[in-house]
Amino acid sequence: MKTFITILFLLSMSGVSGQQDAYRQAMQRAMDKMSQASEPSDFQDAANMFERIAQTEKAEWLPLYHAAHACIVTGFTESDLSRKDGYFDKAQQFLDRAFKIAPEESELYALQAFLYPGKITVDPMGRGPELIGSMNDAIDKAIRLNPENPRGYYLRAITLLNMPEAFGGGKAVAKPWFEKAKERFDRFQPASAFSPDWGKQQNEEELSKL
């Protein structure tokens, strides 16, 4: 009896290991596609790959995160406003699903804050007053949930940099936030090969201009 139970246990563990290997391989292919993307269609291909992974791995928030990120990047590169808005809406759908899996994940709030400016660009006058507050709330929560997450500080810096001085923004106010982001980017270690790891180069470029 003990031998039979041992065999069942080993078989079940083998199945789990196989599923994990398949997940890692699929994620790596999608991550490679994302890193090599240069055209909107490339980013959408990556988003579709991540979406397929998410359909199988329903307990994982990272495929949904990367699918949303790919859609956001596509939206920023799209010139047609209706298509642009569609990409941002799709990104929000992915994020909403990810939040259900990991409601206290700092990286999700940082990505949410990255999404809001895209939505604002579609209709600045109509959406700005509503979404700017939501964007700042998302940045605040990203930092509060993980004070070592550099993307929260980078997004706060970008927000202040693009805000008129009359409203509390400008280069002088933004620079300390870029510096805080740099400190954290310099010591940041992704939790896994598939964890978010973007923003350092952009932060360095902006800081060099100040």
Tokens encoding 11 = 């078989």
Q: Give just the sign of the alpha carbon dihedral 143, 111, 51, 101.
A: positive
> Quick one: what percent of the chain has pLDDT higher than 70?
91
What pLDDT, in 10s, does the model give residues 56-99?
999 999 999 999 999 999 999 988 888 999 999 999 999 999 99
Q: In terms of pLDDT, which residue wins out, 40 or 20?
A: 40
Residue 141 lies in a domain: yes
Q: Which residue blocks in the chain are alpha helix, DSSP H?
A: 2-36, 40-56, 62-77, 81-101, 106-122, 124-145, 150-161, 171-187, 200-208
Residue 21 lies in a domain: yes
Domain stop point among 73, 103, 133? 103
Residue 18 binned pLDDT confidence (cut-offs 50, 70, 90): low
Domain stop point among 47, 75, 103? 103
Do 7 and 77 have their domain in common?
yes
Q: What is the CATH number of the domain that holds 80?
A: 1.25.40
Do 54 and 149 have their domain in common?
no
Residue 121 lies in a domain: yes
Average pLDDT over residues 22-50: 93
Domain stop point among 103, 129, 158? 103
> Quick one: what percent of the chain has pLDDT higher than 90?
78
What pLDDT, in 10s, does the model give residues 151-165?
999 999 999 999 889
Do 82 and 119 have their domain in common?
no
Residue 139 lies in a domain: yes
Residue 11 binned pLDDT confidence (cut-offs 50, 70, 90): very low
Do 95 and 5 have their domain in common?
yes
* Residue range of the domain that includes 12: 1-103
